[in-house]
Homo-oligomer: A and B are copies of this chain.
Amino acid sequence: MAVTIIDVAREANVSPSTVSRVITDHPRISVKTKKKVREVMERLQYYPNFQARNLAARSTQTIGVVMANSATLAFQNPFFPEVIRGICTKAHAGQLGIYLSTGGTEEEIFQEVVAMVQGQKVDGIILLYSRVDDKTLNYLREMNFPFTIVGRPYEYENQIDFVDNDNRKIAQDVVNYLVELGHKNISFIGGDLKFVVSSDRLEGYQSALANHELTYQNQYFIHDFAYEQEGKEAIRHLMTQENPPTALVAHDDSVAYEIIRFLEELEIRVPEDVSIISFNNHALSEHVKPPLTSVDIHIFELGIKATELLLDRIKQPEREAVHQFVDTTLIVRNSCRSLNPREK
C-alpha cells in the first residue's frame, strides 16, 4: 500500500538496485540518473521502509538508552532528562534514533537489554548508571556488544568505554573548600554505595579528610540517605550528637533540599548554624533558600560525549577502550559560611 522501491524503479525506468543506490548517494551512479530518480521519489512521496532497509543492511540506525529504573524514580531526578537531552542532540546530528528502556525493575531492564541485543533492535547501548556487579553490564561486556557507560565501571575499567566526572576529585575539592572556610567537622550524606558514583565521592571525601589530617568518623557519615521520616531521623541524630558537624556535604542537590527542610524543622539555620554543599547543580538550586552552593557536573556534556564514544565504538568495534572525564565547576552561592574570624 505504501510506495516501495519497486514503484519508484518502474516509474523511473531503472532497476530497484539503482534506486537503492540513489538513496545512499552511491558515487558510481551518474548525476543524471540520480536526478531522475530523485524527482520520481519526490513525486511519489517515497520514503524507504526503515525495517526492510535495516534488515538488509544489518544495521539499525538506533541506539538504546538504559536508565537504572525508568518507570519509577529515574525521571524524578533531573540528571536523566538532561543526559538524554545531550544524547538526543548528538544522535539527531548523526540521524540516529533513540530507543528508550522502559523496565521498572533490574531484572526487567536486563531482559529488555537482552532483547535489544539479541533481537538486533539497536546498534549500541548507553548505560546511564554504573552499579556494582551489574548483570546488564556484565552481559554487554561478555557479548562484546558496543556500549558506553555514563559513570565509571566498577570492574574492568580499562576494557570499557565510559565518560564520567572525576568524582573522587570533586569530592576532595568540596572538602578542601570547606576546610578553607575553616570547617573541621564535616559530615557526608552519601547515596547508595552500590552505585559507583556514590562510593567514588565517599572515597574523595575520606581522602581529603586524611590530607587535612582530620580523622574520618563514622558518626559523621550517613549512608544511602532516605527521604521522608527515616532521613529526618538520621539528620536529627547527626545534628544532636555531642560534637555536631559544622558543614554537610550532600551527594545530590535534591538531597540537600530535603536536608534543609529537616534542619528547618529542627530550627537549625543554614548557613548560620551549619553549612551545606552539594553535587549536580540542578536548575532549581539557585531558587531554593538559601541558594545552594553546588558542583555543576555538566550533565548535558556527559550525554554528548557518551554518544560520541558509542558512535566511535560502533564504527571501530576493536579499538582500545576510551575514558573521558568531563570538567566540573563549583558554583558558590549562599549555603556555606566561613568560620574564619578575619573574613567574618
Judge whether B71 and A88 touch: CB under 8 Å.
yes
Interface stretch of the complex, out of A114-122, A218-226, A234-242: A114-122
* Residues of chain B within 8 A of A184, CB atoms compared: none
**Closest Cβ–Cβ distance, residue A130 to chain B (whole Å):** 21
Complex CA distance for A344 and B327, rounded to whole angstroms: 52
Q: Is A51 an interface residue (CB 8 A)?
A: yes
**Chain B residues near A80 (CB, 8 Å)?**
81
Selected from B49, B98, B261, the residue in CB contact (under 8 A) with A287 is B261
Number of copies of this chain that the complex holds? 2
Interface residue from B81, B89, B115, B289 paired with A289 (Cβ < 8 Å): B289
A284 within 8 A of B: yes
Which residues from 59 to 108 on chain A have a C-beta closer than 8 Å to any C-beta of chain B? 60, 62, 70-71, 74-76, 78, 80-82, 84-85, 88-89, 91-92, 96-100, 102-104, 108
Complex CA–CA separation, A47 to B99 (angstroms): 18
Q: In the assembled complex, how far is the CB of residue A121 from the closest CB belonging to chain B, in whole angstroms?
A: 5
Cross-chain contact A85 with B70 (CB below 8 angstroms): yes
Q: Which of A82, A85, A260 has the most CB of B within 10 A?
A: A85
Residues of chain B contacted by A96 (CB below 8 angstroms): 102
Is the Cβ of B71 less than 8 Å from the Cβ of A75?
A: no
CB <8 Å contact, A120 and B49: yes
- Expressed in whole angstroms, the Cα–Cα distance for A80 and B78 within the complex equals 11
Interface residues on A, range: 35 or more
* A288 and B284 within 8 A (CB): yes
- A190→B19 CA distance, assembly (Å): 51
Chain B CB within 10 A, most for which of A80, A91, A258, A287: A287
In A258-282, the 8 Å CB interface with B consists of 258, 260-261
Which residues of B are found within 8 Å of A288, using beta-carbon distances?
284, 287-289
Within the complex, what minimum Cβ distance (angstroms) separates A46 from chain B?
Answer: 8
* A102 neighbours in B (Cβ, 8 Å): 88-89, 91-92, 96-98
Residue of B nearest to A62 (CB): B99
A82 to B260, CA, bound (A): 25
Taking the complex as formed, is A215 at the interface, i.e. its CB lies under 8 A from any CB of chain B? no
Q: What are 11 of the A-B contact pairs (CB < 8 Å)?
A: A47-B119, A50-B120, A51-B120, A51-B121, A75-B81, A88-B102, A89-B104, A92-B108, A97-B102, A260-B287, A289-B289
